[in-house]
């Protein structure tokens, strides 16, 4: 099988490429390389094409002869402010449209797997003791300023309880990145209906693990915490740290992509561990593991059950809960992982403790 992986030199894409090669696939990678200051550590058999996804000629050449496409390329994260808007729309919307047009002109009707995100849901699922399942509105800056981080029931104003969210929940994007991910899913679904291709959108929850980018506002929270520890600073935890998330290891995410490529099931799937933790849990786990193991960039850090990197103990840097907030953030998003287990046979295999222990010593990527 010949597979095109867009963004295949990046964090998640690189792990997908590694697994595909190990399974005997012929892999073409299309990556602009603008997000990487270090050369990609790709297997030597990979056909790397360095070009932007909006380059129509390069994309047309890359899709030639492929049996399947794994679309990982995207500008990710919440960004800095709305000055990023055109960059997100260009990279994510126009880039996806350019890829789909190239596939259409090739009359591609094979397998298409696209990377989406939990951010398409906006806030997660909640229940009210009086009104049952409900969806809170956007949080008010006035409440956040007062430290009122939990969203109230929109009908009675009482406290809500979070619950796992499944793929049938309505989409409610609350930042620019989220809006572009919704559009990516929609464009891919339209392509599938028109072309006959089978299309699966994987909604990643909070992915972490080796080769995450360091020191960037576009990285995930786990990378920001890990970068702070490596620089000798305590992780800064926004709000009160009680935000619930599903942290899923990148090795599991790569495996979910390969299972999706080998399947013909169409639709959206949560890719998650099914075992939620708070943001403060992640910061505390990384701080504790970093204090015990330190880091030396050992190759074994890329293997969750590998040996410890032994460069001696370090003083613990306890997380600092700041009370800061960002209006584009949501309070709780916890996944239901049932559908991916049922239709793909996917269940996460990396335990939170083992994953964070390994990540605390894993080298980050510039």
Reduced to 3 states (helix: H, G, I; strand: E, B; else coil), residue 270 is strand
Predicted confidence (pLDDT) per residue in 12-34, tens digit: 999 999 999 999 999 999 999 98
DSSP string, 55-66: -HHHHHHHHTT-
Cα(159)–Cα(127) distance, integer angstroms: 9
Predicted confidence (pLDDT) per residue in 311-355, tens digit: 444 446 899 999 999 887 889 999 999 999 999 999 999 999 999
Confidence of residue 135 (pLDDT cuts 50, 70, 90): confident
Is 306's pLDDT higher than 80? no
Structural domains in the chain?
Answer: 2-123+165-211+247-276+334-351 (3.40.50.720)
By the 8 A CB rule, do 122 and 172 touch? yes
Q: What is the DSSP letter of 171?
A: P
Reduced to 3 states (helix: H, G, I; strand: E, B; else coil), residue 47 is strand
Length of the chain: 366
- Which range has the top average pLDDT, 132-146, 175-189, 295-309? 175-189
Instruction: Tell which wins on pLDDT, 83 or 207.
Output: 207
Cα(188)–Cα(205) distance, integer angstroms: 20
By the 8 A CB rule, do 6 and 72 touch? yes
Reduced to 3 states (helix: H, G, I; strand: E, B; else coil), residue 192 is helix
Q: Which residues contact 317 (CB under 8 A, 6 or more apart)?
A: 228, 229, 232, 233, 234, 235, 287, 290, 291
pLDDT of residue 79: 65
Mean local confidence (pLDDT), 159-187: 95
Confidence of residue 293 (pLDDT cuts 50, 70, 90): low
* Mean pLDDT of all residues belonging to the chain: 90
By the 8 A CB rule, do 198 and 192 touch? yes
Cα(172)–Cα(134) distance, integer angstroms: 13
Is 215's pLDDT higher than 90? no
The 3 state secondary structure assigned to 205-250 is: CEEECCCCECCCCCCCHHHHHHHHHHCCCCCEECCCCCCEECEEEH
Cα(247)–Cα(118) distance, integer angstroms: 11
DSSP string, 60-95: HHHHTT-SEEEE-----S--SSGGGHHHHIIIIIIH
Report pTM: 0.91
Cα(266)–Cα(197) distance, integer angstroms: 9
Cα(6)–Cα(257) distance, integer angstroms: 13
By the 8 A CB rule, do 98 and 31 touch? no
Cα(59)–Cα(98) distance, integer angstroms: 7
Residue 65 region by backbone torsions, left for phi larger than 0, else alpha for psi between -120 and 50, else beta: left
Which of 11-25, 69-83, 287-301 comes out lowest in average pLDDT? 287-301
Is 217's pLDDT higher than 70? no
By the 8 A CB rule, do 46 and 40 touch? no
pLDDT of residue 202: 98
Q: Which residues contact 22 (CB under 8 A, 6 or more apart)?
A: none
Confidence of residue 294 (pLDDT cuts 50, 70, 90): low
By the 8 A CB rule, do 26 and 68 touch? no
């Amino acid at each position: 099988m010949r597979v095109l992986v867009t963004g295949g030199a990046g964090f998640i894409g690189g792990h997908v490429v590694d697994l595909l090669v190990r399974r005997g696939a012929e892999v073409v990678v299309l990556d602009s390389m603008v997000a990487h200051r270090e050369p990609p550590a790709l297997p030597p058999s990979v056909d790397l094409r360095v070009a932007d996804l909006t380059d129509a000629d390069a994309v047309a050449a890359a899709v030639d002869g492929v049996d399947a496409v794994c679309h990982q390329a995207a500008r990710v994260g919440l960004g800095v402010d709305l000055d990023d808007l055109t960059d997100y729309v260009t990279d994510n919307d126009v880039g996806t449209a350019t890829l789909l047009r190239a596939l259409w002109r090739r009359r591609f009707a094979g397998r298409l797997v696209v990377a989406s995100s939990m951010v398409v849901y906006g806030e997660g699922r909640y229940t009210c003791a009086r009104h049952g399942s409900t969806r809170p509105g956007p949080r008010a800056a006035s409440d956040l300023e007062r430290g009122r981080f939990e969203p109230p029931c929109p009908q009675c104003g009482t406290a809500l309880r979070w619950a796992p969210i499944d793929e049938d929940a309505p989409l409610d994007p609350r930042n620019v990145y989220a809006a572009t991910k919704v559009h990516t899913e929609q464009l891919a679904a339209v392509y599938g209906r028109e072309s006959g291709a089978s299309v699966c959108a994987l909604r990643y929850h909070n992915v972490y693990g080796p080769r995450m980018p360091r020191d960037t506002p576009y990285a995930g929270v786990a990378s920001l915490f890990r970068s702070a520890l490596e620089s000798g600073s305590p992780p800064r935890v926004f709000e009160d740290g009680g935000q619930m998330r599903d942290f899923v290891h990148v090795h599991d995410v790569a495996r979910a992509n390969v299972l999706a490529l080998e399947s013909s099931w169409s639709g959206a799937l949560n890719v998650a561990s099914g075992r939620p933790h708070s943001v403060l849990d992640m910061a505390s786990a990384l701080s504790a593991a970093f204090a015990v193991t330190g880091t030396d960039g050992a190759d074994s850090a890329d293997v969750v059950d590998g040996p410890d990197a032994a460069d001696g103990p370090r003083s613990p840097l306890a997380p600092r809960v700041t009370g800061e907030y960002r209006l584009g953030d949501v309070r709780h998003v916890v996944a239901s992982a049932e559908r991916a287990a049922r239709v793909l046979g996917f269940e996460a295999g990396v335990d939170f403790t083992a994953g964070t222990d390994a990540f605390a010593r894993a080298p980050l990527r510039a």
